[in-house]
Amino acid sequence: MSEETKSLNFIEHIIEEDLANGLPKEKLRFRFPPEPNGYLHIGHTKAIGISFGLGEKYNAPVNLRFDDTNPAKEEQEYVDAIKRDIAWLGYTWENELYSSDYFQKLYDWAILMIKDGKAYVDSQSSEVMAEQKGTPTQVGTNSPFRDRSVEENLELFEGMKAGKFAAGTHVLRAKIDMEDPNMLMRDPIMYRIMYAHHHRTGDDWCIYPMYDWTHGESDYLEQISHSLCSLEFKPHRKLYDWFKDNVYEYSKENFPLPPKQREFARLNLSYTIMSKRKLLRLVEDGIVSGWDDPRMPTISGLRRRGYTPNSIRKFIEKVGVAKRENVIDVSLLEFCIREDLNKTANRVMAVLDPVKVVITNYPKDKEEWLEAENNQEDASAGYRKVPFSREIYIEREDFKEEAGNNFFRLKLGGEVRLKNAYIIKANEVRKDQNGDILEIQCTYDEDTSKKVKGTLHWVSVKHAITAEIREYDRLFNDEAPDSHGDKDFMEFLNPNSLTIKTGYLEPSLGEAKVGEQFQFQRLGYFNVDDDSTAEKLVFNKTVGLRDSWAKQKPKPQNNQNQNKPNPQQQKRSAISVIQQFGKKYTKFTEEKQLKAKAEIQELAKDVSYDDLEPLFGTAVKKAGTRIVVLIALKELLKNGLEKNEAITEFIKKAKEDKNDILVAEASEI
């Protein structure tokens, strides 16, 4: 078996086998069939990626078909949003089609099925029909109307179409087998009466076809070769094939290719709701501002929050195509956007919780415009000018009156470097009557060649522009909010999913346009929100620089022995635990690597630079150790540790390494 064949997913194997068995390649045709009853969410991106990805791989057409058979829930707004989202992801469809295009053809086929004794009109209530259907362990019973004559069925069905009957009085059912072990085969409903205005056909119809009757026949009419859907439709395949086989006999001369349904595992994401019905409830109850609220898992919400098409496509690629259901940790999605924005987002300075610093030996009226690099990952990004003056803002958490050796930021009597500027020393503080710090009195040193351990971002008070900063967190604080049968998913809403602050930004951001993305240095990635105007800038926090949730997850405890602390483990230093991770890191799965990375980031709080520096010279073949050292080092740098020659050289070598993981970690610095 060739390497190329080994790398195929199971759907591609099916297609390759069909091609080998005589299916002409030009007959390959795929489709993505959303129902326009809500906005697309992150779960849909897998189905989108599979169908359109196969279209790209085999140079085959992909239809965008809206399964619009329920006018009570479908709207043109959703059609427009779905088209916009798919185009934004970078995919192009061959034809824009609708199941409603086929209403007449479906009706004509239904007439033929009645004439062939394969469908009948049932006049019972839905409750009675449900009782007669039986259970998975008990067979169903036939409807008393199952043996109506063909003539009576035709008359009733035509009367249903003509609007002669009230909704709920009659339905058209397929006549299959009420004792079939697959309950979907127990005389399923094909048509129901519904007096509702359809967003495309208006009031032309008052009977509407059911999904199972419509879906496969739409595939057949479009000559779709492979009908791909998620695993919950696997039980439907038997019914899909039954309907398909019957209509094939009516139309095989005009439509020679019967489609083949195959199923894949859908995308389930932790801390996320995937049900459109439940997402609609969040919108209607005012929990979120709309379908495109940046906390929503909709593609529109992710786009507004600052996610990129490339990051979502990369996420889908990493998730892969599987046959079994599983839950993907949302941290993998967050990793993908960090990785993407790290390469493309310009670095800027912003302070979100300010405390004033007064540089007492800097002239009061003096100001300078200093040069700052836009993005060290992109040589073409160039430089910009940032203003410096006597009074600046720094983050309140970047100063402590007293602190230990592992605090690389500003403290009384200590020195730090201001990013792109000078070195300052804190001499005293001024406080209000409650003891809160109002300002920090500092002096500066023009000798920037001095070695200091910390570097802080800052903004000139005189030149700062203000903006509304919306810091978003996960909408739910439970990994599976809709998995608790005895509780409503709304009970798990995160009360801190949105925090609004006033930020103080360097003036270069005054010209920022809606959708533009930036890294606020040491704070995270942010983008300009749709609500932003020239008079009032609004930024959304896309994602932090690291996963802040991993440390909150309780570790699983499988037995009593695991509950007992190991005295030897308790005595181990943070650096030795990090080194232990290094021995296995490159052998971990991607998900395990993310979890290990989160633990290392937490352990880094108890690690000093002196612990890490001796490990910079680790042998090249020990890539795992060098990766974990780099992860810990990045935490120290984020907390204010200043780069020196040894750090710069270590990072440089990491970027040139053959190990892709090490290169990726180094590229984030």
Angle, alpha carbons 456-332-8 (nearest 5°) = 140
Beta strand 415-418 with 455-456 is parallel
Is 127 a known active-site residue?
no
Q: Which residue has the tokens 């019973």?
A: 141
Tell me how far apart the terminal alpha carbons of the chain are, to the nearest angstrom. 41
Report the helix count and the strand count for the chain, using DSSP H and E: 21, 29
> What CA–CA distances, in Å, run from 662 to 271, 580, 585, 596?
29, 17, 11, 14
Encoded tokens for 19: 């091609």
C-beta of residue 27 within 8 angstroms of C-beta of residue 58: no
Nearest Cα to Cα of residue 279 among 42, 82, 61: 42
Nearest Cα to Cα of residue 599 among 633, 626, 631, 569: 631
Q: Per DSSP, what are the bridge partners of residue 456?
A: 418
Encoded tokens for 100: 């409603």
**Which one of the listed residues 29, 133, 173, 266 is annotated catalytic?**
266
Is 29 a known active-site residue?
no
Q: Which residues fall within 8 angstroms of residue 387, CB to CB, at 6 or more apart?
A: 367, 368, 369, 370, 460, 462, 463, 506, 507
Q: Which residues fall within 8 angstroms of residue 367, CB to CB, at 6 or more apart?
A: 387, 388, 389, 460, 462, 463
**Which one of the listed residues 29, 35, 217, 384 is annotated catalytic?**
35
Beta strand 391-395 with 383-389 is unpaired
**Which one of the listed residues 175, 276, 411, 597 is annotated catalytic?**
276
Is 35 a known active-site residue?
yes
Neighbour-count burial of 162, counting CB atoms closer than 10 A to its CB (0-12 exposed, 13-18 middle, 19+ buried): exposed
Q: b/e for 388-426, b at 16 or more Cβ within 10 A?
A: bbbebbbbeebbeeeeeebbbbbbbebbbbbbbbbbbbb
C-beta of residue 272 within 8 angstroms of C-beta of residue 479: no
- C-alpha dihedral sign at 197, 202, 206, 208: negative
Q: Return the active site residues.
A: 35, 266, 276
